[in-house]
Amino acid sequence: MPPDHRIPAASLKRRFGVYGHFYNMVVSNTECACRSVLEIVSHDTTPLRLDDLSDRSPDVVVIMMNPGSSHPLDPAYQPRTLPCPAAIQNALELVPTQADTTQYQIMRVMALRSWSHARILNLSDLREPKSGQFLSRLNEFTELEYPHWHSLFSPGRVDECTWKLGKSSVPSIVGWGQDTGLRTLALLALGALQGRRVVGVPAAANDGVSFRHPSPMLQTGKDSWISKINSIMGTPKERTN
């Protein structure tokens, strides 16, 4: 197995930085902690002004379920509370972010393919580490006038979505899992990705909607996901570093 499948986290941190946009939204008198985007970028191509990353087309877009427990590196950082989803795009502020196991998996793929910039998007912006509670919260929103406000792929966030997906030539790796509770959001995302190259490892159901998560529990599963994604993507360009 190529060594890049098992690059340790410490080495990856020396090569890549992670930057996210965090915000809060008050919905039905409840404040929801959210993250709209995460940028993984090599240190040697990171701009002095982090927000400039948002106007770049990345090498790849990766779309997963939700941000989980993602949080800023600075514990004192206070995300802005926004009045409505339409305000997210204009309020974008990228800050250094704590990397997690899943993001290290994406960095390993980046290393294999000599990519310097990956943009992480999610079916939902909600920061909820427990998948069961996350799905319960989605159910709570069904009675709202705009139940999918928290999804970048919802009809009310089309301009923001187009901007974040970047050029149509940018491939999209999808890996949001196979929970049936995500089907509506997954279909919204797949609709937004029409005409783009979409790459994923199909889940057991092989229904065209469910795709395996990049970081399953077992190490063999992690290695397998990287190997399959790299194989599907084809021969990478030659390294320049």
Our CA dihedral for 172, 164, 115, 41, rounded to 10 degrees, sits at -140
Q: Which residues contact 239 (CB under 8 A, 6 or more apart)?
A: 114
Tens digit of each residue's pLDDT (9 = 90 or more) over 207-220:
899 999 999 999 99
Question: Model's pTM, two decimal places?
Answer: 0.93
Task: State the Cα–Cα distance between residues 46 and 8, nearest whole angstrom.
Answer: 21
Is residue 50 very low, low, confident or very high in pLDDT (cuts 50, 70, 90)?
very high
Residue 14 pLDDT exceeds 50: yes
Beta-sheet strands, E only, within 43-73: 60-64
Q: How far is CA 87 from CA 23, 90, 92, 149, in A?
A: 10, 6, 9, 12
Q: Return the pLDDT at 3.
A: 54
pLDDT at res. 197: 96
How far apart are the C-alpha atoms of 210 and 186, rounded to whole Å?
8
DSSP letter assigned to residue 62: E
- Residue 212: DSSP 8-state: -
Give 237's pLDDT tier (boundaries 50, 70, 90): low
Q: What are the structural domain ranges in the chain?
A: 3-233
Cβ atoms of residues 170 and 60 within 8 Å: yes
* Residue 71 confidence (pLDDT) above 90: yes
Three-state DSSP at 39 gives: strand
CA–CA separation, 80 and 85 (whole Å): 13
| pLDDT score at 239 | 44
How far apart, in whole angstroms, are the C-alpha atoms of residue 135 and residue 139?
6
| DSSP conformation letters of 87-108 | GTGGG--EEEB---HHHHHHHH
Q: Per-residue DSSP letters for 117-142? A: EEEEEES--B--S-HHHHHHHHHHGG
Q: Which of 240, 238, 236 is nearest to 44 (CA)?
A: 240
The pLDDT tens digits of the residues spanning 148-191 come to 999 999 999 999 999 999 999 999 999 999 999 999 999 999 99
At 29, phi and psi to the nearest 5?
65, 15
